[in-house]
Structure 1
Amino acid sequence: MTTADMSFDFANVDPEIRYKLLTGLVVPRPIAWVVTKSVKGVVNAAPFSLFNVISEDPPLVMFSVDTKPGDRVKDTLVNVHATRAFVVNLVDEATAQVMNNCAINFPPEEGEPEAFGIPLVPGTHGPVPRLAISPVAMECKQVTTLNFGPRRDLVIGEVLALHTRAGVLDPTNLRTNYDTYQPVGRLGGTMYAHLEDRFSMDRETYEQFSARTAQEAAAKETV
């Protein structure tokens, strides 16, 4: 294994290698288990690990959609364009395996929840149901979709409603109980990560920083 620093000029790197580098290094990533509904009523559930929350006012999330083999448009994107609605379900240790199963390339007429017997809960703010087994679900409406060429679309949605399993949030202060939630993060390749090892860091104010550095400077002058 090399011990030298490495640099990559992405203009000269194949997309497959870019993907390997980016998804292997930008970790851990949250997983969006996106549920959509076709115009024919088929409920689709597909995982996406290029996902995150991007704003709280307005409450916005985004996920990135690539294409199927042969550059065919994924069912998720077709359904979002048709209904402008989707539900982002988050993934924990208890649901990780069935989420991974939903990455199988099913045909449009066959939905993953039905194939794997995943119970559904009707939506409260739209036509798309959420997964009953998910610890957290966000009902969203499509705000916009940005296209970045034949193989990539970025879906941005506004969160209309948030649902959590009992015990995920402390009802008195709304803090997340990670011992109950146990989220799973995405790494590179076929690897995932438990988020069990956590630590906390306090942040100084500018005034505290100024006072501390002044005290340290004064202490050095007296030495």
Structure 2
Amino acid sequence: MRWDRDRVAEPIAHKLLSATVMPRPIAWVVTQSPDGTLNAAPYSFFNVMGSAPPTLVLGLMADPKRGFKDTATNILATGEFAVNLVSESLVQQMNTTSVDAPTRMSELNLAGLETEASVHIRPPRITARLVAFDCRMLSSVVTGPHQSIVIGRVLAVHIDDRFILNPERAHIDTRPEPRCPQP
């Protein structure tokens, strides 16, 4: 079967992309507003794009009536963001941060998450994460009336020491983290 983009509604296009590009990593993005309010939200339209310089991209979609949410607004205002990768052990907290919280309410607090300072940017990293990237916006591109992409330059990569096999050669243990036993 074929779906032509100009003949399907946006929700169908979204469903087709998210159901077929798999597995899809989740960027758990922490931003800080100009007044210092922290925000955290998951983004599944995300991936790395290159290594010279190291770059990644986030797909930011806006509500047609309310516009961009805090993550996009903060990135566009400050140019800084921390991307944390979501491990299986943090899925529940990540889901909590996906709520439509009012502006100036920190999803990090709602999810009971602690943070630690990033090295090159103001927004902190999530302490419990296994991998995080300090990023500065390199460019943003409006790709539609209610969406933009942000290209971020990776300034630092933080990886939990437990997963470093050989630091000189950057060999990383990429096996899934062990599952917790079920009661």
TM-score, normalized by the shorter chain, greater than 0.5 = yes
One of 17, 31, 35 as aligned partner of 2:30: 35
In 2, are the aligned partners of 1:120 and 1:132 still within 8 Å (CA)?
A: yes
C-alpha displacement of 1:175: 2.1
In 2, are the aligned partners of 1:33 and 1:48 still within 8 Å (CA)?
A: yes
- In the alignment, residue 157 of structure 1 is paired with which amino acid? G
5+ residue gaps, structure 1: 1-5, 183-223
Which whole-Å deviations, capped at 9, do the CAs of 1:52-90 have from their partners, x for residues lacking one?
A: 000000100001010136242110111112211000000
In 2, are the aligned partners of 1:71 and 1:150 still within 8 Å (CA)?
A: no
Aligned to 1:16: 11
CA RMSD of aligned residues (A): 1.5
Aligned to 1:138: 133
- In the alignment, residue 172 of structure 2 is paired with which amino acid? T
Query: 1:151 & 1:71 partners in 2: Cα distance?
Result: 10
C-alpha displacement of 1:50: 0.5
Aligned to 1:195: none
In 2, are the aligned partners of 1:71 and 1:151 still within 8 Å (CA)?
A: no
C-alpha displacement of 1:169: 2.2
In 1, are the aligned partners of 2:64 and 2:146 still within 8 Å (CA)?
A: no
Equivalent residue of 2:72, what SS? helix
C-alpha displacement of 1:181: 4.4
Query: 2:110 & 2:136 partners in 1: Cα distance?
Result: 26
One of 112, 115, 120 as aligned partner of 1:120: 115
Rg comparison, structure with higher value: 1
Q: What TM-score do you get using the length of structure 2 for normalisation?
A: 0.91
Aligned residues: 177
Structure ranking higher in strand proportion:
2
The percent identity for this pair of structures is 36
Does residue 1:93 correspond to 2:88, yes or no? yes
Q: What TM-score do you get using the length of structure 1 for normalisation?
A: 0.75
Equivalent residue of 2:29, what SS? strand
Moved over 6 A (4+): none
Does residue 1:177 correspond to 2:165, yes or no? no
